[in-house]
Structure 1
Amino acid sequence: MKEIDAKDWQIIRELQQDGRLTNQELAARVNLSPSPCLRRVRLLEEAGVITGYSANVDPRACGLSITAFILVALQRPERDAVENFEKSIQRIDEILDCYLLTGEADYMLRVVVADLEEYERFVRKRLHAIPGISSMKTSLVYGTVKSSRVFPHSHG
């Protein structure tokens, strides 16, 4: 794994804020000439620090007005049940994120759907179809206070 220095952190933060920067623009923002800047970006990509580039899209603007966080507990955290659950989750497009947790719940899912009727269909037909779930607790999002993909500045 590449050692991330302060200049790498500058590059990472700039790209997290705007992944469409040209190498020229990025180099100017981090006070490097274009060639060493590009070399650093390529090394960060090769080391798996930068894993890809994507657009941040407002789900509501795309007709996905319901965001839900679902805490899921499995009946038995045995290897087969865990593998089956995790493979099933990978195939469900409405689930954007799945986190493995400590504490009472085993997983937290972030789900987006168009409306409450679609959410009900999703739970009944997709989640309930996965064997081994003992409980699910849902919280619906009705507002976003902060949403960021930029890491804290204190790193580096």
Structure 2
Amino acid sequence: MTQLTKVDRAILQALQRDARQSYEVIGATVGRDASVVSRRIAALIKAGVITGMAVNVDPLKAGLTTTVYMLVMLDDHGDEAFAKFEAELNAMPNVVEWARMQGVNDYVMKIQAQDKEHHIRLHAHLRGLPMVRRVRTLELLGQPHTKLTPLADSD
């Protein structure tokens, strides 16, 4: 695990809020000059702490009015079945997040669909995969709220 300094955490928080900020603006926020910010960001990228910078898209304004979570149980719990199922998930653009889990279900995934009918088609596709035993849907009452990644104190 990479030890983050107070300055590193402040830079990361600034980037999480708005990654388009200039190094000068971030530097003014964290009390360092732009060259220090540039070096720290490069070091955080090299260490794998920063894995990319992306644009957040409002799903509703992009035409994705339905967000659901699905729980999937597989028939087979071998490595090959997991790999095949994960390849299917990675090939489905509307599966925006997934994770393997412990317990009754094997996977949880977040689906963003155009509407209820689109969600039903995605559900049917997953249910039709040969390695899938069961699919359960958790319908959300509105869009999920996403917060910034918390950055633990290490100093």
- TM-score > 0.5 by shorter chain: yes
Task: With the length of structure 2 as denominator, give the TM-score of the two structures.
Answer: 0.92
How far did residue 9 of structure 1 move? Answer: 0.8
Q: Does 1:93 align with 2:93?
A: yes
Pairing 1:133–2:132 present = yes
Letter in 2 for 1:83: A
Q: CA deviation at 1:153?
A: 4.9
Equivalent residue letter for 1:86 = E
Matches for 1:14-29 after TM superposition, within 5 Å: 14-29=14-29
Give 5+ residue unaligned stretches, structure 1: none
Instruction: Indicate the SS of the match to 1:11.
Output: helix
**1:37 equivalenced with 2:37 (yes/no):** yes
For residues 73 and 155 of structure 1, what CA distance do their matches in structure 2 show? 38
Give, in angstroms, the shift of residue 62 of structure 1: 1.0
- Matched residues in 2 for 1:79 and 1:36: separation? 45
Partner of 2:105: 105
Would the aligned equivalents of 1:85 and 1:131 in 2 still touch at CA under 8 Å?
no
Q: What are the residue-to-residue correspondences of 1:1-156 with 2, within 5 Å? A: 2-124=2-124, 126-144=125-143, 146-148=145-147, 150-156=148-154
The alpha carbon displacement at 1:3 in A equals 2.7
Rounded Cα–Cα distance in structure 2 between residues aligned with 1:3 and 1:153? 11
- Percent identity reads 28
Show structure 1 runs of 4+ deviating over 4 A. none
- Give the drift of 1:154: 4.1
For structure 2, which runs of at least 5 residues remain unmatched after alignment? none
Does the 8 A contact of 2:123 with 2:135 survive in 1? no
Cα distance, 1:23 vs structure 2: 0.6
RMSD: 1.5
Alpha-carbon separation, structure 1, partners of 2:96 and 2:36: 35
User: Per-residue CA shift, 1:53-97, capped at 9, x if unaligned?
Assistant: 111111011111000100111112111111110111111001000
* Displacement after TM superposition at 1:131 (Å): 1.9
Give distance in 2, aligned partners of 1:86 and 1:116.
Answer: 24
Equivalenced residue count is 154
State TM-score, norm by structure 1: 0.91
Residue 61 of structure 2 aligns to a residue whose secondary structure is helix
In 2: Cα distance, 1:75 partner to 1:28 partner: 55
Shift of 1:144: 4.0
- Cα distance between partner residues in 2 of 1:2 and 1:154: 12
